[in-house]
Amino acid sequence: MPLPKAELHLHIEGTLEPELAFALAARNGVTLPYEDTEELRKAYLFDDLQSFLNLYYELMAVLRTEQDFADLADAYLERAAAQGVRHAEIFFDPQAHIARGVEMGTVVDGLWRALEHSEEKHGVSTRLIMCFLRDESAESAMATLEAAKPHLDRITGVGLDSAEVGHPPVKFREVYEAAAALGLRRVAHAGEEGPPEYITEALDVLGVERVDHGLRCMEDPQLVQRLVRERVPLTLCPLSNVRLRAVRVLEDHPLRAMLDAGLLCTVNSDDPAYFGGYVADNYHAVRDALGLELEQMRELARNSFLASFLEHDEERRAR
Ligand code: ES4
Ligand code: ZN
């Protein structure tokens, strides 16, 4: 039995497996620039975040209808349940779809078709977190927040993702202020490829409650102290860090040092279809590479519920 856990850093578009990509391409009459799943899999060798994002955005072309988003989410939830996931806080990238002519309502209603049955069907409770693409303008992010207003009963929070370097959190100050005023929870990717200063800015300027990745905090001991003191959760994604070359090999991953420093670390899968594993695969990979004890594995699983947006009574039930 895998450890019961929550997954807090998961891009639903990053769960698009090659087989589903080709099935949806056929269903929608979309032509992919790859012969078959085997040739596509060969493209899954990345130099950095941007080289991954290029493929990630390219493959989204197959996602067109509500049913496509429902099928994508249902396939993820089934796999997640098999990996011990009891609760999933799921990112989606509306701008990447709106830019292709797929409306916000299609995306949210489609995802919801799967999410609304997830507890009974898979035993997985869910939340949706809408991400802004940080390499797009703040105006575009604000328009996206506006387009989300009819759907806010189904959206728990906002996040910030895509190409990090050169797009500091401060660019989205007003958008996050508006999101907070709407009662939305706030998270942001920071310190994945970007410097530790972006983590500080995400906390101080955007008011985030959780930092996605946060890996590069380890370059700044003062920042580590602060994250420990304020109990700021970090959503680490070890296999992602290796595939996108944030760390050279898993044996070099700072997770053990981060736990030893007292940081509130969680382990997540990020874009599991692309990075070679779902969340339990990430747990097992770091256990094997870093020699983590069962007590540390339990700490990671416990942290995942503590860091979630579940209310206290829900959290107890999910564990
Ligand atoms: C992402 Cl690994 C990662 N980093 C930033 N943005 C993303 N979007 C999807 N996966
Ligand atoms: Zn991510």
CA-CA-CA-CA torsion sign (279, 81, 8, 66): positive
Q: How many CB atoms lie within 10 A of CB 311?
A: 9
Annotated binding site: 9, 11, 189, 270-271
Annotated binding site for substrate: 271
Q: Which domains does the chain have, with CATH numbers?
A: 5-304 (3.20.20.140)
- pLDDT, tens digit, 9 for 90 and up, residues 184-203: 999 999 999 999 999 999 99
pLDDT beyond 90 at 318: no
Reported as a pLDDT band with limits 50, 70 and 90, residue 254 is: very high
pLDDT value, residue 302: 98
pLDDT beyond 90 at 53: yes
**CA distances (Å), 77 to each of 22, 91, 133, in order?**
20, 13, 24
**ipTM exceeds 0.90, yes or no:** yes
- pLDDT, tens digit, 9 for 90 and up, residues 64-79: 999 999 999 999 999 9
Considering the entire predicted model, what is its pTM? 0.98
For ligand 1, whether the C-beta of 49 sits within 6 Å is yes
Q: Which atom of ligand 1 is nearest to the CA of 56?
A: 9
The torsion angles phi and psi of 52, rounded to 5 degrees, stand at: -70, -45
Counting beta carbons within 10 angstroms of the beta carbon of residue 205, is it exposed (0 to 12), middle (13 to 18) or buried (19 or more)? Answer: middle
